[in-house]
Amino acid sequence: MIRLLFTIIAGVLLGGVVHLVSVLALPRIATQDAYSRLTPLTKLNAVTQLPPADPSNTVMPFVDPAFAVAVCRYDLSGGPIKLAVPVSQAYTSVSFYTRNEVAYYAINDRSAGKKVIELDLMTEAQHNDLPEDEEITAADRLIIDSPTATGLIVLKALAPEPGLMPQAQASLAASSCAEPADQPAKQAEAPRGKR
Partner 1 sequence: MRLLLITLLALLVATVVGLGATWMTATRGTDLGTLTIGAWTARPKTGTSDVDPYSRATITRNGELPIGTGDGVAFTATTDDRKKPLDGRCDVVVSGVTPAARFWTLTLYDQKGHLVANTLQRYGFTSQEIVRGADGGFEIRVASRSRAGNWLPTGGIERYALMFRLYDTPVGVATRTQRDAPMPQIATVGCP
Distance between CA atoms of residues 151 and 74, nearest Å: 6
Selected binder of partner 1 within 68, 76, 152, 168 (CB under 8 A) = 152
CB of 169 to partner 1, least distance (A): 16
Phi, psi of 172 (to 5 degrees): -70, -30
Binding mask 107-146 for partner 1 (x = CB under 8 A): xx-xx-----------------------------------
Least Cα distance to 177 among 98, 91, 76, 90 occurs for 76
Pairing of strands 176-178, 81-86: antiparallel
Q: Where are the alpha helices (DSSP H) in 63-164?
A: 109-112, 124-128, 132-137
CB of 165 to partner 1, least distance (A): 11
> Does 147 help bind partner 1 (rule: CB under 8 A)?
yes
> Does 16 help bind partner 1 (rule: CB under 8 A)?
yes
Q: Which is nearer to partner 1, 47 or 107 (CB)?
A: 107
> Does 188 help bind partner 1 (rule: CB under 8 A)?
no
Selected binder of partner 1 within 1, 5, 62, 182 (CB under 8 A) = 62
The upper half-sphere exposure of residue 65, i.e. CA atoms within 13 Å in the direction of its Cβ, equals 9
Selected binder of partner 1 within 2, 64, 113, 115 (CB under 8 A) = 64
Part in contact with partner 1 (CB under 8 A); list of ranges 78-86, 121-129, 137-145, 149-157: 149-157
Q: Are 180 and 186 in contact (CB under 8 A)?
A: yes
Tell me how far CA of residue 173 lies from CA of 3, 4, 46, 79, 150, in angstroms. 68, 66, 11, 24, 22
CB of 133 to partner 1, least distance (A): 30
Residue 101: left if φ>0, alpha if ψ -120 to 50, beta else—which one?
A: left
- List residues near partner 1 by CB under 8 A: 3-4, 7-8, 10-19, 21-24, 26-27, 30, 32-34, 36-37, 53-56, 58, 60-66, 90-91, 93, 95-97, 100-108, 110-111, 147, 152, 154, 156, 158-162
